[in-house]
Amino acid sequence: MDLSELSILRQANNWFAAGDRVHLITVLQTWGSSPRQVGALAAIRNGKELTGSVSGGCVEEDLLGRIAAGEFPGPGPTTSLYGESEAERNRLRLPCGGRLSLLVEPVSKQSGLPALVAQLEQRERVVKHLDLATGSVSQTPATVHQKFELSNKTLQHPLGPDWQLCLVGASQVAAYLAEIARPLGYSTTILEPRPEYVESWVPLEGVVLVRCSPDDHLASQKIDNQTAIVTLAHDPRVDDMALVEALASEAFYIGALGSSRSQAGRRERLLAIGLTEAQLGRLYAPAGFAIGSKAPAEIAVSIAAQLTAAKHNLLQVSG
């Protein structure tokens, strides 16, 4: 499961604070085909429980067993190479020719997890500086172009704020989309001012429902370029004002559910209240790829797919 850096580090911090033995796992290098990218994170508790991912699953199982057996005692981190032989790649189900080097870091008070978590929760971008000999960690603000760097003595690991998703309207589509977004690494908030929708909402793990005017909430938050906003209320009184705030923000994706006909009416209303053509040009509407479906779950999948493409700069706004 591709959880966010914040989710993984927060869980590791909670485990360590509770007195558990915790190891952070970081992908240092990859060769050939690899399931995860350099910098991917996982955390292991007492050699028994895992959060995050560094491969397709078999490497994590091997690490669980090795940590449970007492390997990687610390205090400093240790590197471990997987996939050196064809037999090992087959055993671990790594792609053909795939190898990966992992850093196994025993968590201690020197790891600085509380400070890292606190800064990520404030949506700040930081660099974790890890001393490879001692395991001690310091941190500095990250520059825009800061890169993951490994030397003989230190690891410099840029850590960014959590990806966040704001969904306007507690609809069926919102419920399905929120569930899909969690393994994609998003922290999801549902904004809903209508009492009848609030009362019928079924709570979802990790999803926050805020009963409020969506535009007021968005105006009070830090909406940065790792934020996506999708209006799903099917109510212009709710959706339009939320879009006014969204289109004035740095959000990397702004979508609005509805037909092409409703999109035309929405454009007229938003232009009439002062939005510009340039602002409306940022809007994905109708939100999601055209898949010819009216089923809420399938619509959620189409929006999640378009959201992912926008996140990776693979499409242009058609609004």
| Predicted local distance difference test score (pLDDT) of residue 88 | 65
Q: Which domains does the chain have, with CATH numbers?
A: 5-159 (no CATH), 163-311 (3.40.50.720)
Weakest-pLDDT range from 80-94, 114-128, 197-211: 80-94
Contacts of 207 (CB under 8 A, 6+ apart): 178, 182, 188, 189, 190
Indicate the pTM of the whole model: 0.69
- 227-231 and 207-210: which strand pairing? unpaired
Query: At residue 85, does pLDDT exceed 80?
Result: no
| Predicted local distance difference test score (pLDDT) of residue 160 | 82
97: left (phi over 0), alpha (psi -120 to 50) or beta: left
Confidence of residue 91 (pLDDT cuts 50, 70, 90): low
Query: At residue 262, does pLDDT exceed 80?
Result: yes
> Can you say how many angstroms the Cα of residue 32 is from the centroid of all Cα atoms in its chain?
25
Mean of pLDDT values over 13-42 = 90
